[in-house]
Amino acid sequence: MPTPTDQATQQDERATERKEKKKARDAKYRQRLRAAADRVAVLEELAGRGPLTEEQAAELAALQPKVAQRKQKTKERHAKEYQARKAAAERVVVLEELAGRGSWLRRRRRSWRRSSRRWRNRRSKRRKITRSSIRRERVLPIGLWCWRS
């Protein structure tokens, strides 16, 4: 009976074997794609020099749409990836700006505090002139005044 560690080792070996097979299969696939693209380039060059044989014309007719489609898909994928990178970079810039300036609410509260300070200062200047404030000034220090009166 295999121990749990033996089973894990066997599973790891199977997984690595699967990965290696997949890697080899993918490499063969990419190699076929490159060979087809190279063959199309060669046949197009031959067609530019002169007429092709029937076999070459048939081969070119069969391979050309596949290669063109593959190139188009690759081009679209690259454009999509570029747009995603560009959008991410723009978002980073916006987030860095927001982080540098602080949040909108924090800035708004700061301005409210400033304006309320200004209002208090104006109010206290006006208050010093009135008669009731003169009486309070003699009795209580400024810090103990009630703001409502």
Query: pLDDT digits over 19-76, tens only?
Result: 999 999 999 999 999 999 999 999 999 999 999 899 999 999 999 999 999 999 999 9
Distance CA 60, CA 41 (A): 9
pTM: 0.51
pLDDT in tens, 91-134: 888 877 777 665 656 666 666 666 666 656 655 655 555 545 55
**Four-residue CA torsion sign, 31, 37, 41, 42:** positive
Distance CA 8, CA 50 (A): 63
* CB 64 within 8 Å of CB 52: no
